Amino acid sequence: MALTKNPQLNQWIDEMAQMCQPDKIILIDGSEAQKKQLTDEACATGEVARLNQEKLPGCLYHRTAQNDVARVEHLTYICTTLKEDAGPTNNWMAPQEGYRRAAEIFRGSMKGRTMYVIPFSMGPVGSPFSKIGVELTDSIYVVLNMLIMTRAGQEVLDTLGAGGAFTKCLHGKAERDVNKRLILHFPEDNAIWSVGSGYGGNVLLGKKCLALRIASYIARQEMWLAEHMLILGIEEPSGRIDYIAAAFPSACGKTNLAMMVPPEGLKVKGYRIWTVGDDIAWMRIDTDGKLWAINPETGFFGVAPGTNSRTNPNALATTQKNTIFTNVVLNPDGTVWWEDGEGEPAAAGALDWKGNPWKPGLTDEQGKPVKGAHPNSRFTAPIEQCPSHSFRLDHHHGVNISAIVFGGRRAHLAPLVYQAFSWSHGVYMGATMASERTAAQYGKQGEVRRDPMAMLPFCGYNMADYFEHWLRMGVRMRWQPKIFHVNWFRQDEDGNFLWPGYGENLRILEWILARSRNDLQAVKTAIGFVPRLKDIDMTDLALPPGAMESLFEIDPQAWRQEMASVAEFFETFGDRLPLELWAQHEALERRLEELGDSRT
Ligand code: GTP
Ligand code: SPV
Ligand code: MN
């Protein structure tokens, strides 16, 4: 009997099954009973383990292979007919070549295994904002994660109907050998093939692969935006809620900002924070000419290390039940721990993310501390468990965006906050963003690289066309959100963060909202508007003398060096780069010469 009522889907499943040769095919219906059965099975094979069900009800533990702990950008490809359409920032492979090379690895790889069919919706089921995907996978870990991260199951198939379109997402663990690992995107076919990995961003195909790479390609054609952005709402005692969308590169603070708790000093102001999303925003211009955003996901796949009741109490509360922990420390009592986590790890009997005996203070042969949790260890948790989750999560229009914020991890150069002069200048600011590399991707940590709009690893087409698309979107809006840049990570000479970050960031968001309502004056500098220091509410926050001045320092010499690196980056796009960005670049060069860093 046919598996679904959609002939095109059935045919595709057949073809993929012929290639991968699973023993069985199981359709994921989204029911609790099936979820429990799959969990039991995965526990029996050791793919996951149940944690202490009294202390962490419904929680599971998982370890990835040791060579498979982060996204692999060097093995991630955009497969378009023309290489030009992938652009200079993406790895490219011809579609035929991609299918051929991946098929070699997929062929027969599911022998003795089950292929699960996961119908999922990114965005509320049936909303015109949403997109449907179907993921085929041989990993129960992937199924259990997708059930948290997306709306998955029978309801989605019903909505798809007999003729609906969907993104074809094929995943196989194969041997989890780095030399047989490929993450391929075929935007022209609305398809994704991922093979040889079991790590989140490579295998939860609704997330980075569909909701960013494929969606960004579709969004350009349909005139909307698919972005690597958190969305949060700030409610004032009057009841007014303003929503902010912010793009920071991986492991640069999106989850933390999205769930922030107002600091003590601002408590009297009575703000309430609403978390809409922590990683991805799909934004459209609605009939009112304003920008509206939804979070297409239903869960968080968040960085564990650094999460504690001081930095992110909402994340900690969210992860107390029904959560999957990946690559963290396993305590002997079936609880979990990670670096800069809550409380102390077990003094004895704990296992590290590799499964080796581990205790606090452990060092290797060279005397270097051994981390218990992998720096990119993660939790997968339902957004509805977050104490600050928005009441508009299932609203098919989402929320109206008042301000767009770009940010990176810069030890020097970028001030704490500054504002673009216009939409085009804001697009330039986003296009020229740079950040230090983190543990969320393979490669040399700490190295500064350009990461436009935090989309460098996630844009499914030529980024020159993507910038053009951003410029055009601005023209089409009747009401453009103001654009800002923040840097929570500026350091002093000794390498200490100058800004305390986390909840204290609300002090900067306050300024951002006031500016986006045209409520405040600001200081014009060469790079944009910066706050008058008196306009940042510092109640109960004492920074060392001179810290605020250092946080806002604009060093013309350093900026000129930055400009050279930006020009070099822009040149890689050749003629395809919108002239408007070069115009913005030249205007900034002129301002740097004329104004220097003159500030009042
Ligand atoms: P992805 O899930 O990879 O996209 O990451 P993310 O952008 O959601 O990053 P996340 O909020 O998980 O933060 C990553 C790291 O940055 C954690 O170690 C945090 O503790 C740290 N961090 C977050 N916000 C701040 C901040 O305001 N200041 C400082 N100094 N560190 C921060
Ligand atoms: C990121 O790296 O930006 C993440 C985690 O959000 S992953 O899903 O692995 O891409
Ligand atoms: Mn991310």
Burial of 317 (0-12, 13-18, 19+ CB in 10 A): middle
* Closest atom of ligand 1 to CA, residue 501: 27
Does residue 250 have its Cβ closer than 6 Å to ligand 2?
Answer: yes
Q: Which of 169, 252, 386, 459 is catalytic?
A: 252
Q: Which of the ligands is closest to the CA of residue 263?
A: 1
pLDDT tens for each residue of 271-286 = 999 999 999 999 999 9
pLDDT value for 576: 98
Residue 195 phi/psi, 5-degree rounding, is -140, 140
Closest of 278, 379, 274 to residue 319, by C-alpha: 379
By DSSP bridging, strand 291-294 and strand 399-407 are antiparallel
Does residue 62 have its Cβ closer than 6 Å to ligand 1?
Answer: no
Is the confidence at residue 600, as pLDDT, over 70? Answer: no
325 has which bridge partners?
A: 61, 379
Does the global pTM surpass 0.85?
yes
For the residues 233-248, what does the mean pLDDT come to? 97
- The alpha carbon of 280 and the centre of ligand 3 are apart by a number of angstroms equal to 7
Is the confidence at residue 542, as pLDDT, over 90? Answer: yes
Considering the chain, what is the average pLDDT of its residues?
Answer: 96
pLDDT value for 229: 98
Q: Quick one: pLDDT band at residue 447, thresholds 50, 70, 90?
A: confident
Does residue 255 have its Cβ closer than 6 Å to ligand 1?
Answer: yes
| CB of 384 closer than 8 Å to CB of 274 | no
| CB of 263 closer than 8 Å to CB of 541 | yes
pLDDT tens for each residue of 364-373 = 999 999 999 9
Look at ligand 1, atom 13, and give the residue with the nearest C-alpha.
253
Percent of all residues in the chain with a pLDDT value above 70, rounded to a whole number:
99
Closest of 229, 260, 244, 554 to residue 418, by C-alpha: 554
- The alpha carbon of 250 and the centre of ligand 3 are apart by a number of angstroms equal to 5
Q: Which of the ligands is closest to the CA of residue 280?
A: 3
Does residue 302 have its Cβ closer than 6 Å to ligand 1?
Answer: yes
Q: Which of the ligands is closest to the CA of residue 254?
A: 1
Tell me the C-alpha to C-alpha distance, in Å, between residue 291 and each of 199, 224, 403, 482.
33, 9, 10, 11
Closest of 148, 116, 502, 169 to residue 325, by C-alpha: 148
- The alpha carbon of 249 and the centre of ligand 3 are apart by a number of angstroms equal to 7
Q: Quick one: pLDDT band at residue 439, thresholds 50, 70, 90?
A: confident
Is the confidence at residue 354, as pLDDT, over 90? Answer: yes
Known catalytic residue at 252: yes
For the residues 126-136, what does the mean pLDDT come to? 95
Which residue among 68, 71, 150 has the greatest number of ligand 2 atoms within 8 angstroms of its CB, and so is best to mutate?
71
Does residue 143 have its Cβ closer than 6 Å to ligand 1?
Answer: no
Is the confidence at residue 597, as pLDDT, over 70? Answer: no
Pairwise CA distance, residues 362 & 360, whole Å: 6
pLDDT tens for each residue of 290-315 = 999 999 999 999 999 999 999 999 99
pLDDT tens for each residue of 40-75 = 999 999 999 999 999 999 999 999 999 999 999 999
- All structural domains of the chain: 7-30+63-222 (3.40.449.10), 227-298+393-595 (3.90.228.20)
- The alpha carbon of 228 and the centre of ligand 3 are apart by a number of angstroms equal to 6
Does residue 440 have its Cβ closer than 6 Å to ligand 2?
Answer: yes
Is the confidence at residue 442, as pLDDT, over 80? Answer: no
HSE, side-chain direction, 13 A CA sphere, residue 108 = 1
Pairwise CA distance, residues 406 & 417, whole Å: 10
**Cβ partners under 8 Å of residue 534, min gap 6:** none
Pairwise CA distance, residues 50 & 141, whole Å: 12
